[in-house]
A and B are shown apart, each in its own frame.
Chain A
């Protein structure tokens, strides 16, 4: 199988370049990550992130034949050759397919991704009704891989000020949580021309989410909450 992979080592290369690889696949190689691991055995200078290899950790998000996805759950049989791999668009490249996610996680931290509730805790736990728990479905499953944010044109042009789809989906996850008591502060923080309203409903985020979540719908729900709560 033929591969064309983005290479850049800032300590050695003046600019990025594409390197071609030819790989004899093993019959057991099913996913793109299997091939990448095999390629690294050929060329140990090739850098990429991986961990769980089953679409849970979100480490191996990259641009695969022009679209963002996770290498570990992308079937080799579905890919056109040469398989072109590049880092997540818009992110600063640390090396090869490894990107710097500092800004991404700074935005995540900015939405306070934890329950805020100063009421005295009950003896065992803060209970939810089945309906209250169901309100979190489609929000809590995000694995923070960055595939959505790295495919969002609004974020490409304003990466410092627009929070991006992943952080906004996470924001909605805590707004929707019946145990949280900081909804008003959360909405007030988000009600900003850049943090929230740079989203133009292009929906690239929803197109590429490897967990089939809909950050664009979460953003829509935040906007509605802001309107309905009269902020």
Chain B
């Protein structure tokens, strides 16, 4: 019998064909991490913008560069996807929409609606 340490495991995620529910779920994780990083920065920016006319002008200057606005589009996607996928998970936890057909439909809805809101944000911000 070969040694356990020498045993390989196939776990190359790029070679696995994930169902739509799995993409919704990993999107929920990724968007959660993005929000955890972005929200403190946005709150600091918001606080600065409330500190009088000068603070508002400074916050507007920080938001002006294209990469920052592109990052904001990403944050909008993260917020939209995390909210939609999170509500989907909560509903499924109480047994609503937890059959395969309904779960697939809600995963598609969360994935596409998150992207659609990001596209709308891109139209407004870029």
Give residues in A with beta carbon < 8 Å to B.
6, 8, 10-11, 15-16, 63, 65-67, 84, 86-95, 100, 151, 153, 156, 200-204, 206-207, 214, 216-217, 220, 223-224
Contacts and interface: CB of A to CB of B under 8 A. Distances in A.
Interface string B93-121: 10100111001000000000000000000
Nearest to B19: A207
Nearest to A9: B2
Contact of B22 (A11, A95, A100, A204): A204
B2 A202 contact: no
A6 B89 contact: no
B93 A201 contact: yes
Contacts of B16: 63, 66-67, 89, 151
Interface of B: 2-4, 6-11, 15-19, 21-22, 25-26, 89, 92-93, 95, 98-100, 103
A10 B10 contact: no
A84 to B, nearest CB: 8
Contacts of A94: 2, 7
Contacts of A206: 100, 103
B10 A65 contact: no
Given A203-B19, A217-B99, A93 B9 contact: yes
B9 A203 contact: no
A201 B92 contact: yes
A92 B100 contact: no
A197 to B, nearest CB: 11
A202 B6 CA distance: 31
A22 B103 CA distance: 39
B21 A202 contact: yes
Top 5 nearest A-B pairs by Cβ distance? Answer: A66-B17, A10-B2, A92-B7, A207-B19, A202-B25
A85 B63 CA distance: 49
Contacts of B8: 8, 10, 15-16, 92-93
A153 B52 CA distance: 49
10 contacts: A63-B16, A88-B10, A90-B9, A93-B8, A93-B10, A204-B21, A206-B100, A214-B99, A216-B98, A217-B99
Contacts of B4: 92
A203 B21 contact: yes
A88 B8 CA distance: 12
A89 B99 CA distance: 24
Given A66-B15, A217-B99, A153 B10 contact: no
Given A16-B8, A93-B9, A217 B2 contact: no
Contact of B18 (A65, A95, A204, A216): A204
